[in-house]
Structure 1
């Protein structure tokens, strides 16, 4: 456990900081110079905890990554549920900073693995692509009108230009069901693939089954949380992979024999896909279909 934890609530203008165990509160501008000056005061044993806040955390992440300083970027839903569980109903910047610090003290939060510049840029393009797709659906325009093809080509070129991304793409694209869109999402939004164990990856993707029990009552396990776009991508890939990948075919047949529902089988296949991809990346060898 770290010697001290700093909870950091982010906004476009400010960072509200809570240092535990001292309880010291501080507010600094959300600018590169201010954050760099503050980061110089951190000891190596201090863990910085903040929510995954798109558009507000870029400078903080870059500054901490440059200094190789440990930080944990937590799911906002997880932080809110922790606050409720500890009886904190109020929501202000100072309160949120304290809650995040308390999470770091109470829970064994994983240290977030820094994302390479290439993956960060790829993730930005994926977000832009989703915006364009949503615009196209809403306005019912033709595909090229929203610039979809241009973004897709830029994403393809971006992957090809980075050695690590290109090598992983060559391996993963050989797996049935992993087309260009699914491939880009896995590379850009699941950088932990190939470095974390199957249970942690399943949890990140929102494919880990969670128990629902109370007393003698036991409900069916349900998947929830995680990164929705990654979960959707793996689910789509599993539709094809479960019919063509020998390991998934065997698993599907075993589950069918036990009377499992088709959707349960498909979710299991989606959960198993990262395990297969992890082995491929670790060994640097493509999947053997036959």
Structure 2
């Protein structure tokens, strides 16, 4: 019997399902009863993979329930699915069409099922994401305060800034408490912050958003973080290499860590200086430092040994 690949397009109220290669299509409600019925139906089939798009959290209930039912589940990147659809010439966009494209993408790209984070892991990721949101709002309000001329406007912005800072402190306390509850997270955080240039904020971003750290090779982890350069060439023409894709928040955190490490970490500072002396642009050198920093962090978590300058 052929193994089936199932694509699911997720919306707030329903799940559109497409089964490849036989082309069966149907939908169920995106609630406990609908997902239970879907799991029962899929468990009767020889399912190789169930692929769902990441849709801002609406996919979590379905992904968790289907995985708990013993089905191999993968949450796929919607940008990659959209690019795949463009390559197929699929300009029309409806939920059933999207489900079929997801199934074809999963079958063609070799996506593999991965363990889903547990409730504590999801909570950590949500708190880290919420902290980023508060920081974004805080930076925006501080910029507005600098431009504000009227007294009443300044008072309003100042009150909001104070409230945002209180909320930031509250989130940090919640994150501290959550990390303390997990011996594994405590150990991982201590190992990460042992590296000059890595503070608690970056460490917690990596713990929450890059759980594969320490379990993959250097090239694979760099690709996940969006720090693996891709080559552009055709015939004798050689273009500049660029980085992109991957997990944006992880890449941003590592970039900030690289800026600090290029000044305070003697090993990475020497590495950056060598690149600049060799004629590399400063931005290229910092990106190289970020990738080397990630390689070091990956090895530290893999070997469970803190930073050693040698």
TM-score (norm 2): 0.87
CA change 1:202–1:68 in 2 (3 A) is farther
CA shift for structure 1 position 189? 1.0
CA shift for structure 1 position 215? 3.7
Q: 1:145 aligns with which of 163, 172, 176?
A: 163
**1:30 and 1:226 mapped to 2: Cα distance?**
28
**1:283 and 1:137 mapped to 2: Cα distance?**
38
**1:96 and 1:48 mapped to 2: Cα distance?**
14
Q: Which residue is 1:259 aligned to?
A: 279
CA shift for structure 1 position 250? 4.7
**2:289 and 2:112 mapped to 1: Cα distance?**
26
CA shift for structure 1 position 101? 0.5
C-alpha distance after superposition, 1:131-184 (max 9, x if no partner): 222333344455541111111111121111112111101111111111121111
TM alignment of 1:146-165, pairs within 5 A: 146=164, 147-165=167-185
CA shift for structure 1 position 67? 3.3
- 8 Å contact from structure 1 (residues 50, 74) kept in 2: yes
- 8 Å contact from structure 1 (residues 119, 191) kept in 2: no
Q: Secondary structure at the match of 2:93?
A: coil
CA change 1:116–1:167 in 2 (3 A) is farther
C-alpha distance after superposition, 1:222-269 (max 9, x if no partner): 111111111110001111223444553453344234321111111111
1:237 equivalenced with 2:264 (yes/no): no
Q: Secondary structure at the match of 1:226?
A: coil
Q: 1:193 aligns with which of 197, 213, 226?
A: 213
Q: Which residue is 2:305 aligned to?
A: 285
Q: Which residue is 1:67 aligned to?
A: 69
Q: Which residue is 1:80 aligned to?
A: 82
Give aligned pairs, total: 289
Structure 1 spans left out of the alignment, 5+ residues: none
CA change 1:253–1:133 in 2 (3 A) is closer
Q: Which moved more, 1:88-97 or 1:132-141?
A: 132-141
Q: Secondary structure at the match of 2:57?
A: coil
Q: 2:98 aligns with which of 75, 79, 96?
A: 96
- 8 Å contact from structure 2 (residues 4, 46) kept in 1: no
TM-score (norm 1): 0.92
Q: Which residue is 2:230 aligned to?
A: 210
- 8 Å contact from structure 1 (residues 182, 237) kept in 2: yes
- 8 Å contact from structure 1 (residues 171, 281) kept in 2: yes
CA change 1:137–1:236 in 2 (3 A) is closer
Q: Which residue is 1:15 aligned to?
A: 15
- 8 Å contact from structure 1 (residues 71, 112) kept in 2: yes
CA shift for structure 1 position 82? 0.5
Q: Secondary structure at the match of 1:222?
A: coil
Q: Which moved more, 1:169-178 or 1:130-139?
A: 130-139
Q: Which residue is 2:129 aligned to?
A: 127
- 8 Å contact from structure 1 (residues 5, 21) kept in 2: yes
| Higher normalized helix content (fraction of residues) | 2
**2:214 and 2:66 mapped to 1: Cα distance?**
23
1:3 equivalenced with 2:21 (yes/no): no
CA shift for structure 1 position 206? 1.3
C-alpha distance after superposition, 1:53-79 (max 9, x if no partner): 112111012113323432222211111
